[in-house]
Amino acid sequence: KYLVPLAKGEKLGAFGLTEENAGSDAGGTETTAVLDGDHYILNGEKIFITNGGEADIYIVFAVTTPDIGTRGISAFIVEKGWEGFSFGKHYDKMGIRSSVTAELIFNEVKVPKENLLGKEGDGFKIAMSTLDGGRIGIAAQALGIAQGAYENALEYSKERIQFGKPICQNQIIAFKLADMATKLRAARMLIYSAAELKENHEHYSMEAAMAKQYASDVCLEIVNDALQIFGGSGYLKGMEVERAYRDAKICTIYEGTNEIQRVVIAASIIGKMPKNEQVVKGAQRGPITGYRKKVIFKDGSADEKVSSLVEALKKEGYDFTVAIPMNTSISKADRVVSAGQGIGEKANMSLIEDLAAAVGGTVGCSRPVAETLKYLPIDRYVGMSGQKFNGNLYIACGISGAGQHLKGIKDATTIVAVNINPNAKIFKNADYGIVGDVNEILPLLTAALDNGEPKKEAPPMKKMKRAIPKKVTPTWKHYVCNGCGYEYDPGLGDAEGEIAPGTLFENIPEEWTCPACGEEKSMFIEI
């Protein structure tokens, strides 16, 4: 059903592993798949997916058993066009611009049970074995980019005359070319070696990592030297060496960063050492914006949800009879209403402006709205590399919740989100939210906040108190190994021993042993 059309080239495939909190650490996967009868219900988002939106068939990785790290990840075959499966916009990348890269968005997607690859929990192994093979391909890609840059530079150096002779006859240029040729040959041998092992069905994880890491590292060095040989002309758009310079960098990042390749290589040559201290895996990641109330209004009519939100904000102490100047900078604003790509057409920006006026604040936006859609000037973009919002009330409209945006609003006193996708990450980072269409919710919210009277000038901003979590004192008992002093903490469990966080000591299987020294469970004493 799937392999034949993929092999024939009749259909295109894609690999959906990376997430906002699961880049190099796949254990941070937050996309979930819950079995419901004959289907798994898939919810979550994937980012930086090659062929996203163009492919017909997707291998998607999701958590089927939470709280056990990578052992709880499973793999699924998902088809384009299934209800609830949508795509974000094409990323505007520095290089490899002919390759489509986009987000995958899953909202209550029903995946037939038979589309589970292998067994539940096999996903991480499937992903890693796929990446092993892919790393050889990326190494070959890096080699091709570097080879092309080298050949162009070599040809140019023979033709470019300076000081009465070809520049290749200058020793500094000749030595650059010699080093480039040597690096290319070494990279090629590493790639061929890994490919031969794979072809012969031998273990090749380490060799693939070596090939990918080395080939992509020297690719950067070679294209840098090639561009230097071209001088100013190589810096111009349209030159092949300029494109190679932009395309080279991604080879050190995708299919596993080069830092991770070194981890793989080191683990292969060192092997597994005896455990001498507790390693906490699969630790729970908190919201990027810190503790938030997460009061999300999902049920009821649009009017009812808006009414509940307005009531909650007024209880927080927000006065909507006052306003700051609309041209106030983001960093100095008390209140900001921001637009994301979910706002749709540019004409809908009037909804944002109207709500900002009703709230008594100013207007902001996500990075794509400013840089790609150009709905607002770049100085209204809120995010890690844009403007930081340090005021009180931030209302995110149609913003999904990318990490770089959330880092720009983490100091807000109150975050409100309006998004049609109930699984949007922004809700996990918000104090209040409404699940609904922004085009329906925003006019209602504007009307609810507008009392028909002109706004008074707001007093100087005073930072309001932010919600803080209630401290909960654990009631469980702690036990210490009588052999080495290792303390078992039920709050952490023992990931390597497959003991989930929250497991009381008395509920641990009797065959469990101390993760530090190997003593039996019976050797532990209560403290």
Instruction: Report, in angstroms and rounded to the nearest whole number, the Rg of the chain calculated over CA atoms.
Output: 28
User: For tokens 């209800």, what's the residue?
Assistant: 83
pLDDT of residue 477: 77
DSSP state of 420: S
Q: What is the CATH number of the domain that holds 60?
A: 2.40.110.10
Please say which residue of 457, 478, 502 terminates a domain: 457
Q: Write the CB contacts of 172 (distance below 8 Å, at least 6 apart in sequence).
A: none
Does residue 401 sit in the same domain as residue 433? yes
Does residue 22 sit in the same domain as residue 161? no
Does residue 193 sit in the same domain as residue 144? yes
Task: Give the rounded distance of the alpha carbon of 132 from its chain centre.
Answer: 21
User: For tokens 């927000």, what's the residue?
Assistant: 318
Q: Active-site positions?
A: 255
CB atoms within 10 A of CB 363: 22
Tell me, yes or no, whether 222 lies in a domain: yes
Buried b (16+ CB within 10 A) or exposed e, 197-207: bbeeeeebbbb
pLDDT of residue 503: 86
Q: Whole-angstrom Cα distance, residue 357 to residue 376?
A: 16
Q: What letter represents residue 339's amino acid?
A: A
Tell me, yes or no, whether 247 lies in a domain: yes
Tell me, yes or no, whether 281 lies in a domain: no
Tell me, yes or no, whether 284 lies in a domain: no
Does residue 92 sit in the same domain as residue 159? no
Tell me, yes or no, whether 358 lies in a domain: yes
Q: Whole-angstrom Cα distance, residue 122 to residue 116?
A: 10
Q: What is the CATH number of the domain that holds 190?
A: 1.20.140.10
Does residue 420 sit in the same domain as residue 510? no
Q: Whole-angstrom Cα distance, residue 228 to residue 328?
A: 45
Tell me, yes or no, whether 464 lies in a domain: no
Domain boundaries, position 66: 3-121
Q: Write the CB contacts of 243 (distance below 8 Å, at least 6 apart in sequence).
A: 95
Does residue 482 sit in the same domain as residue 441? no
Does residue 45 sit in the same domain as residue 15? yes
pLDDT of residue 386: 93
Coil, helix or strand at residue 9: coil
Task: Give the rounded distance of the alpha carbon of 65 from its chain centre.
Answer: 21
Do β-strands 165-166 and 414-419 pair in parallel, antiparallel, or remain unpaired? unpaired
Q: Whole-angstrom Cα distance, residue 116 to residue 64?
A: 11
Please say which residue of 121, 144, 173 terminates a domain: 121
User: For tokens 């000749």, what's the residue?
Assistant: 174
Does residue 117 sit in the same domain as residue 131? no
The verdict on pTM exceeding 0.85 is no
pLDDT of residue 282: 40
Q: Whole-angstrom Cα distance, residue 157 to residue 153?
A: 6
With both helix axes pointing from N to C terminus, report the angle between 302-315 and 438-449 in degrees, rounded to the nearest 10. 50
Tell me, yes or no, whether 289 lies in a domain: no
Q: What is the CATH number of the domain that holds 334?
A: 3.40.50.1220
Please say which residue of 71, 89, 121 terminates a domain: 121
Which residue numbers in the chain have pLDDT < 50?
Answer: 275-284
Does residue 17 sit in the same domain as residue 102? yes
DSSP state of 46: E
Mean pLDDT computed over every residue of the chain: 91
pLDDT of residue 281: 41
Tell me, yes or no, whether 285 lies in a domain: no
Does residue 186 sit in the same domain as residue 244? yes
Contact 14, 55 (CB under 8 A): yes
CA angle at 39 for the pair 38 and 44, rounded to the nearest 5°: 165
Does residue 90 sit in the same domain as residue 67? yes
Does residue 386 sit in the same domain as residue 505? no
What is the count of structural domains for the chain?
A: 4
